[in-house]
Amino acid sequence: MESDRNTTDDLYLFTGDNDGSIAGPLNRIGWNQQYIVFEDARFPTQWNVITVKEHSESKITDAQRTQDAKFQHIIVGSASEAWQRAKAQNSN
């Protein structure tokens, strides 16, 4: 979700019911069918991982993200890049 400033450089991650943000503003984010990985302003030196099916969250280092086969194929980008990617996926 964009912030109230309506800029894609200031994105937040919310639960499905929008009761409150999980993270944000986001520095970088990526996802696939199984995982959402993101780095936010609160913890810029570690990655947060949401396991989609289990609705669970954990933290990993950047080395773990780049070396673990589960995460290697996840395209990670800036908040602005992720917003554009999400819009493109939703328009298909």
Q: Identify the domain containing residue 29 by its residue range.
A: 13-91
Asked whether residue 2 is domain-assigned, the answer is no
> Can you tell me the distance from the alpha carbon of 68 to that of 19, in angstroms, rounded to the nearest whole number?
32
Asked whether residue 48 is domain-assigned, the answer is yes
> Can you tell me the distance from the alpha carbon of 4 to that of 19, in angstroms, rounded to the nearest whole number?
16
Asked whether residue 34 is domain-assigned, the answer is yes
Asked whether residue 66 is domain-assigned, the answer is yes
Asked whether residue 49 is domain-assigned, the answer is yes
Asked whether residue 33 is domain-assigned, the answer is yes
What's the pLDDT tens digit per position in 59-90? 999 999 999 999 999 999 988 888 788 878 87
Q: What is the pTM of this model?
A: 0.75
Asked whether residue 36 is domain-assigned, the answer is yes
Asked whether residue 6 is domain-assigned, the answer is no
What's the pLDDT tens digit per position in 46-66? 899 999 899 888 999 999 999
